[in-house]
Structure 1
Amino acid sequence: MQVVQSPVIPIVGELIRNFPGTISLGQGVVYYPPPPEATDLTKFFADPTNHQYKAIEGIAPLIAAIKAKLQTFNGIELDKQCIMVTAGSNMGFMNALLAITSVGDEVILQTPYYFNHEMAIQIAGCHSVFVLTDENYQLRPEAIAQAITSKTKAVVTISPNNPTGAVYSQEALREVNQLCRDRGIYHISDEAYEYFTYDGINHVSPGGFPQSHAQTISLYSLSKAYGFASWRIGYMVIPEHLLVPIKKVQDTNLICPPVISQYAALGALQTGFDYCRSHIQAIARVRQLVLRSLNSLQGLCTIAPAHGAFYFFLKVHTQLDAFELTERLIREHRVAVLPGTAFGMDRGCYLRVAYGALQESTAKEGMERLVKGLQTILT
């Protein structure tokens, strides 16, 4: 555990608390709460039997609602796949690791990576193998193929991506998925931001590709789209042959997903995408505001295209350390971002800017502080 990096968000959160009035462009959450139907449905929790343990994989009504959503939105028919409800998609990732790896195995991550994935791989006693994405943070399937060894157990993709906001093309995801099938390894597809795409770009689920069922593990979350972060509900779609080992892992760590949260999740899913749509449209407007502000930093930063999630990942043209720059932005300009070092970008200075938690007025003020801060520090 000594070599596992400390979670960066609590570290930055402590800095924010030390400088009151700081606007956070740090944590990746949305500004809106769950739909009323979510809390309304928790009334069913009053049934006395709901205070007892329930099925490891989740309650039947929620499983049915997830199955319907997967068929209509993701194109996943579940002929030879199973659903496991989890306490968020981070738990789904750990479930998958513990089910498919042995100590010393390798898992391929795309760099920049999501820090909790890298932390989980180390905690499981495995090794992360890092493959750089291209200049626009897109997949490089040829490089992924070259990184596979006899110890490789899985390739991880995140689309829409955290921390970059990149959305991977269907062609690239098909290539990676086929590569995993050909090499007999797993494709772990993290799709927590599946609804957050912009500019006419569509989300693609590798689990819906023909013949992908035996090698694809798909991870989903209600935390983002339904404002569900603290309720800790996600789910995973897994090959049938992994159901028993993943049940062993989940029973040991959790026994069953929190039942009251599962009823809330059922209420949220029953509202459908209509509840999310108007809020995501509002986030899209904030995104345009953020992009206009960032474009004024041309010359000081490189801003790659970001058509998904609610992040921009900046390459800052400076010799300053990313965490030092983050600290100065908080201390001197009262605006917080996350340093790229947390996402594996140790060469160069990178910052992740998150905008999902802010409405337009706060986002405008936050971006003005960020732009002014970077201009002041870097020039």
Structure 2
Amino acid sequence: MTPAPEGAGSAEARRLRPWNGAGGARIGAVDAPVIPHLAALARRHPNPWSLGQGVAFFPPPPQARAEVDAFWRSPSAHGYGPAAGLDPLVAAIGAKLTRENGFSGVGDDLRVLVTAGANMAFLTALLAITDPGDEVLLPLPWYFNHEMAVRIADCRPIGVPPAPGLRPDLAALEAAITSRTRVLVSVSPNNPAGIVYTPEELLALNRLATARGLWHISDETYEYFLYGGRRHQSPGAPASTRTITLGSFSKAYGMASWRVGYLLAPAELYPALLKVQDTNLICAPHVSQHAALGALVAGSDWPRRHLATLETHAGQLRAALLRLGSGVREIIGGEGALYFLVRLDTALDSLQMAERLVLEHGVVTLPGSAFGLAHGCWLRLSFGALSGDGLAHGLDRLVAGIAAILSDAPRSTPHEGG
């Protein structure tokens, strides 16, 4: 199985890659973000309902508010701070990674860097470990901000086709490695597919990266969002020398607007990471770091107390999709994170379907093309922000909207079905 072309899904992607020649060609090659594009369309509808952006329905824990209140009372809190992060937060993250994820040597052989979200952690890591023209392996479906960051770093994203069920294909990944390959990326629990890689899959990816001299960036943003008794595995634990682990407070603690995340990397890489951090950010905002410290006081019990509700909403969304009968060719997800990927039986491309759903029916979804799925009409649906109020009505709108569009569109061919 050969890697997907660099511009996988390019016929659709070009529609989200407007470039008027102003600025550099490197940024011109980066897709425009799909969420703002669809949000702008949603504003044309009097009553939009969103299954688009991946956020959880619950707020930050009260301990985060308490820490923020204390921050305001400290006269020394409003200056610059250490680039790595505030010492108490760095220590608390290190303790969490040791206790929950099984890492050893945190603070010595492994170092924590606090960033303005996990997306920034990913780009910081890329800038520290790659050179222009290096290749980065992204198992399909990729997370679109990862693909965008790879291009911004002047590297080449290589979308690697998955195994059945959109699971990572180890043989395909190994076959995709060239002399320019520098990084292998994994996301588990997965955005956008809503699947959870098994511990065996993750450890195999880590062994492959180590054996071939690659860096393995493991994005573990959704580590607590696990359903059906599944468990999380940090492939870099206990002390991999070729793994960079990413974490975030945005999803687990309802803190998306606070923009705080972190990475864990081998100590030898730390000077390079600090160069990038000091240039781009100096330090993560102190008020957000204090909120994160309070979130860690609340601990993993905070996100876990909401999992039963999320799992119920996931089941309701799946049941609604099944009402479409033969109009749905495949439903993947609901194992972890906040997502399903659904493949519809239509010759429409996924961006056309997403745009029609929001313009004609006021329902926001994300097109599979944004995640590198070039064939078939895939949509990503997020159940994270769903609530009891109006949930049944919203799901009815989703089903009715898809059914109406499918009724006047040609069916997919075998190739389009992927």
- Same fold, TM exceeding 0.5? yes
Q: Which amino acid aligns with 2:388?
A: E
Question: Which among 27, 30, 33 is matched to residue 4 of structure 1?
Answer: 30
Distance 1:222 1:244 in 2: 24
Quick check: 2:260–2:289 contact (8 Å CA) kept in 1?
A: yes
Alignment of 1:347-366 (within 5 A): 347-366=375-394
CA drift at 1:332: 2.0
TM-score, normalisation: structure 2: 0.88
Which residue is 2:311 aligned to?
284
Q: Is the counterpart of residue 102 in structure 1 residue 131 in structure 2? A: yes
CA drift at 1:208: 1.2
Q: Is the counterpart of residue 87 in structure 1 residue 147 in structure 2? A: no
TM-score, normalisation: structure 1: 0.97
Distance 1:119 1:34 in 2: 29
What SS does the aligned partner of 2:337 have? coil
The gaps in structure 2 that reach 5 residues or longer are 1-26, 408-418
Quick check: 2:136–2:185 contact (8 Å CA) kept in 1?
A: yes
**Residue identity (%):** 47
1:238-291 deviation line (CA, Å, top 9, x unaligned): 011110000000000000110111011000110111222222221111111111
Q: 1:358/1:378 Cα in 2 relative to 1: closer, same or farther (>3 Å)? A: same
Which residue is 1:152 aligned to?
181
What SS does the aligned partner of 1:361 have? coil
What SS does the aligned partner of 1:32 have? coil
Quick check: 2:227–2:307 contact (8 Å CA) kept in 1?
A: no
The gaps in structure 1 that reach 5 residues or longer are none
CA drift at 1:20: 1.9
Quick check: 2:59–2:254 contact (8 Å CA) kept in 1?
A: yes
Distance 2:336 2:325 in 1: 21
What SS does the aligned partner of 1:360 have? coil
What SS does the aligned partner of 2:211 have? helix
1:211-232 deviation line (CA, Å, top 9, x unaligned): x521000000000010000100
Q: Which amino acid aligns with 2:252?
A: A
Quick check: 1:283–1:359 contact (8 Å CA) kept in 2?
A: no
What SS does the aligned partner of 1:50 have? coil
Which residue is 2:196 aligned to?
167
Q: Is the counterpart of residue 367 in structure 1 residue 392 in structure 2? A: no
Which residue is 1:225 aligned to?
252
Q: Which amino acid aligns with 2:378?
A: Y
Question: Which among 37, 42, 49 is matched to residue 23 of structure 1?
Answer: 49
Question: Which among 339, 356, 362 is matched to residue 311 of structure 1?
Answer: 339
CA drift at 1:71: 1.5
Q: 1:80/1:48 Cα in 2 relative to 1: closer, same or farther (>3 Å)? A: same
Which residue is 1:337 aligned to?
365
Alignment of 1:183-222 (within 5 A): 183-209=212-238, 212-222=239-249
Distance 1:287 1:306 in 2: 6
Q: Which amino acid aligns with 1:189?
A: S
Quick check: 2:226–2:232 contact (8 Å CA) kept in 1?
A: yes
Structure 1 residue runs of 4 or more that deviate by more than 4 Å after TM superposition? none
Distance 1:360 1:156 in 2: 36
Distance 1:365 1:71 in 2: 44
1:180-233 deviation line (CA, Å, top 9, x unaligned): 111111110001011001011111111215xx5210000000000100001000
Question: Which among 48, 51, 56 is matched to residue 83 of structure 2?
Answer: 56
Quick check: 1:25–1:366 contact (8 Å CA) kept in 2?
A: no
Which residue is 2:20 aligned to?
none
Distance 1:15 1:229 in 2: 22
Q: Which amino acid aligns with 1:334?
A: G
Distance 2:262 2:377 in 1: 34
Q: Is the counterpart of residue 324 in structure 1 residue 344 in structure 2? A: no
Quick check: 2:314–2:334 contact (8 Å CA) kept in 1?
A: no
CA drift at 1:363: 3.1
Aligned length, in residue pairs: 377
What SS does the aligned partner of 2:41 have? helix
Quick check: 2:67–2:293 contact (8 Å CA) kept in 1?
A: yes
CA drift at 1:305: 4.2
What SS does the aligned partner of 1:102 have? coil
What SS does the aligned partner of 2:28 have? coil
1:283-303 deviation line (CA, Å, top 9, x unaligned): 111111111112223421211
Distance 2:220 2:62 in 1: 24
Quick check: 1:355–1:363 contact (8 Å CA) kept in 2?
A: no
CA drift at 1:315: 1.1
Q: Which amino acid aligns with 2:141?
A: P
Which residue is 1:247 aligned to?
274
Q: Which amino acid aligns with 1:5?
A: D
CA drift at 1:335: 1.1
CA drift at 1:367: 1.6
Which residue is 2:207 aligned to?
178
CA drift at 1:362: 3.2
Aligned-residue CA RMSD (Å): 1.2
Which residue is 2:320 aligned to?
293
Which residue is 2:164 aligned to?
135
Q: Is the counterpart of residue 67 in structure 1 residue 102 in structure 2? A: no
Quick check: 1:29–1:357 contact (8 Å CA) kept in 2?
A: yes
Quick check: 1:290–1:363 contact (8 Å CA) kept in 2?
A: no
